[in-house]
Amino acid sequence: MANDSKVVPVPVLRRMPAYLSFVKTLQKQGEKYVSSTRIAEYMEIDATQVTKDLSHTGISGKTRVGYEVDNFVEILDDFLGFNKINNAFLVGAGSLGCALLQDKGLRNFGLNIQKAFDVDKSKIGTKINDVEIFHVDQFRGMPGECNVAIGIITVPAECAQNVADLMVAWGIKAIWNFTPARIKVPAHIAVQNTTIYTNLAILFNKLHGQE
């Protein structure tokens, strides 16, 4: 039975791409069905957790055979939003910003970066992976009709709040913040903080903590 709540707990969402990845691998191997037990073994978690997580998505299994692989992949891809194109603006075409613009994988997962912005005059007018870089002053003047809901922040941390304010004033509905700064935005704006360097600190701590 599908859960009525639309906002799914983050720990559940963190597991789902791993479920999807595992079942896609089985699909490539020509398998037709997968049980919650098998997914649970792969994930090294309890099978009841798997069925509980999947109840959010509307995927339903059959007694004894489990989940149908093709159906599982289609529903979960859809549920995670990877099948729908979401347009985004990126502000900060420095090293990390350019790296994101280079990553064609993002489009496969539903994110289309339409335009990039920076303050460096030497970059304005150039393109990375077909995305043009504009001056950040032009952000304010961009027409509001262009159906862009997501703003990506890849500026230095001390500029993050200014960029967030600019995005909110423009009409962005969700912000993907790649800086370590904590931004303050109105409650109706969705924020996702992703600091890959934080993951690096966690890895270093695991590595050096055991030496």
Known binding residues = 92-97
Taking CB under 8 A as the binding criterion, the range among 46-54, 57-65, 133-141, 185-193 that sits at the site for a second copy is 185-193
Give the whole-angstrom CA distance, residue 124 versus residue 144.
21
Asked if 128 and 93 touch (Cβ cutoff 8 Å), the reply is: yes
Positions 3 through 32 that interact with a second copy (CB under 8 A): 6-8, 10, 13-14, 16-18, 20-22, 24-25, 28
Out of 80, 153, 166, 168, the only residue in the binding site for a second copy (CB under 8 A) is 80
**In whole angstroms, how close is the CB of 133 to a second copy at the nearest point?**
15
Out of 105, 112, 118, 142, the only residue in the binding site for a second copy (CB under 8 A) is 105
- How distant, in Å, are the alpha carbons of 30, 101, 170, 194, 198 from that of 141? 51, 22, 9, 28, 34
Q: Please give the structure tokens belonging to residue 111.
A: 């994110």
Burial profile 66-79: b = 16 or more Cβ within 10 angstroms, e = fewer: bbbbeebbebbbeb
- 202 binds a second copy, rule: CB under 8 A: yes
| Cβ distance to a second copy smaller for residue 2 or 200 | 200
- 150 binds a second copy, rule: CB under 8 A: yes
Burial profile 30-64: b = 16 or more Cβ within 10 angstroms, e = fewer: eeebbbbebbbebbeeeeebbbebbebbebebeee
Taking CB under 8 A as the binding criterion, the range among 30-38, 57-65, 119-127, 199-207 that sits at the site for a second copy is 199-207
Query: Which runs of E-coded beta strand occur in 101-209?
Result: 111-118, 127-128, 131-135, 150-153, 174-177, 190-193
Out of 40, 106, 124, 185, the only residue in the binding site for a second copy (CB under 8 A) is 106
- 54 binds a second copy, rule: CB under 8 A: no
Out of 102, 112, 126, 138, the only residue in the binding site for a second copy (CB under 8 A) is 102
- 40 binds a second copy, rule: CB under 8 A: no
The phi, psi pair for 55, rounded to 5°, reads: -65, -20
Give the whole-angstrom CA distance, residue 149 versus residue 86.
7
**In whole angstroms, how close is the CB of 63 to a second copy at the nearest point?**
27
- Residue carrying structure tokens 């890895």: 203
- 55 binds a second copy, rule: CB under 8 A: no
Give the whole-angstrom CA distance, residue 191 versus residue 181.
12
Query: Which positions lie near a second copy, rule CB under 8 A?
Result: 6-8, 10, 13-14, 16-18, 20-22, 24-25, 28, 42-44, 80-82, 84, 86, 94-96, 98-100, 102-106, 109-111, 149-150, 157-158, 173-174, 176, 179-182, 188, 190-192, 194-210
